[in-house]
C-alpha cells in the first residue's frame, strides 16, 4: 500500500526519497504525486503540510557472477550543495571556509573568483555551520526554505540577498524589501509579490 507522507519543516524531496529507499525522480514523477508537481515547481522546495505519496518498494534483481566482488552504487546519493557568497554584490573570492553538516566537517578550502562553494552532502542533511575566514559563523537550515511565491519564502530569499533584516518579519518591511529588489532588477517597483517578482527571486537566489 502506498504511504501518505506529510512534509515537515526541513524536508525536501531528496531527504524523503533517501529515507524511504527511493531515487528522488522516482517519487517526483510517480503518478500519485501529480497534484504535488502541479502545486510545486521545485521538488526540493516544499511546504510543511504538503503530501508526498510513497509507493511500495519493488525489489530489483541483477545477475552477477559468483566468486567475484561486485560494487553497487545507489543513484541520487549524495546530493550537491551549492552556495554563492557575495558582499555588496561582489563575489567573496579568496575567502577561506569550513563547512560542517550535522556535526561533521564535509568541506574546507578557499573560494574561487566566482565566490561559489560546492560540495557533496547527505540527501537528508538538516543543519550546517559555515565558518568564513576562520571566525565568522553562519548557521544553515538545509532544506527549510519555502517556495518563492509564499511570504516566508520571499523573506528568506530577500534576507539572503541582503535586502531584509532577518529580525524584521513585518509585512511593511517585506513590501519595502520587495520594492528595492524590483527596482534593482528593473521590474515594476510596487512592493507586491507578483509572478514576475517570484520568477526573478528564484532566478537570482538559485531556487
CATH of the domain at 124: 2.60.40
Instruction: Tell me: do 12 and 50 sit in the same domain.
Output: yes
DSSP assignment of 118-135 equals EEEE-TT--EEEEEETTT
* Burial (CB count within 10 angstroms: exposed 0-12, middle 13-18, buried 19+), residue 174: buried
List, run by run, the mean pLDDT of 10-residue segments along the chain (207 residues).
88 91 92 94 88 88 82 72 82 91 93 91 90 88 83 88 78 91 92 92 85
192 is in which domain, residue-wise? 151-205
pLDDT for position 139: 87
Burial class of 155 by CB neighbour count within 10 A (0 to 12, 13 to 18, 19+): buried
pLDDT at 204: 85
Query: Does residue 124 fall inside a structural domain?
Result: yes
119 within some domain? yes
Residue 48 and residue 13 share a domain:
yes
For 66, residues 6+ apart whose C-beta sits below 8 A from its C-beta are none
Domain end (from 96, 112, 141): 141
User: Is there a domain that residue 21 lies in?
Assistant: yes
Count of structural domains within the chain:
3
Say whether both 137 and 157 belong to one domain: no
- Write down which residue in 90, 107, 141 finishes a domain: 141
Dihedral through CA 71, CA 122, CA 9, CA 14, nearest 10?
-40
Amino acid at each position: 500500500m502506498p504511504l501518505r507522507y506529510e512534509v515537515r519543516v526541513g524536508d525536501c524531496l531528496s531527504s524523503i526519497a533517501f529515507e524511504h529507499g527511493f531515487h528522488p525522480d522516482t517519487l517526483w514523477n510517480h503518478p500519485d504525486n501529480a497534484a504535488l508537481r502541479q502545486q510545486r515547481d521545485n521538488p526540493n522546495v516544499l511546504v510543511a503540510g504538503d503530501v508526498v505519496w510513497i509507493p511500495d518498494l519493488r525489489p530489483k534483481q541483477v545477475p552477477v557472477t559468483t566468486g567475484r566482488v561486485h560494487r553497487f552504487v545507489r543513484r541520487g546519493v549524495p546530493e550537491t550543495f551549492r552556495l554563492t557568497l557575495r558582499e555588496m554584490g561582489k563575489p567573496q573570492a579568496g575567502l577561506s571556509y569550513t563547512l560542517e553538516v550535522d556535526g561533521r566537517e564535509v568541506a574546507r578550502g578557499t573560494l574561487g573568483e566566482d565566490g561559489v562553494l560546492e560540495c557533496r552532502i547527505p540527501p537528508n542533511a538538516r543543519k550546517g555551520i559555515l565558518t568564513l575566514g576562520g571566525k565568522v559563523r553562519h548557521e544553515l537550515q538545509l532544506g527549510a526554505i519555502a517556495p518563492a511565491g509564499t511570504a516566508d519564502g520571499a523573506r528568506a530569499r530577500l534576507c539572503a540577498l541582503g535586502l531584509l533584516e532577518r529580525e524584521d518579519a513585518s509585512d511593511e518591511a517585506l513590501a519595502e524589501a520587495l520594492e528595492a529588489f524590483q527596482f534593482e532588477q528593473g521590474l515594476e517597483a510596487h512592493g507586491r509579490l507578483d509572478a514576475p517578482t517570484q520568477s526573478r527571486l528564484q532566478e537570482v537566489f538559485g531556487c
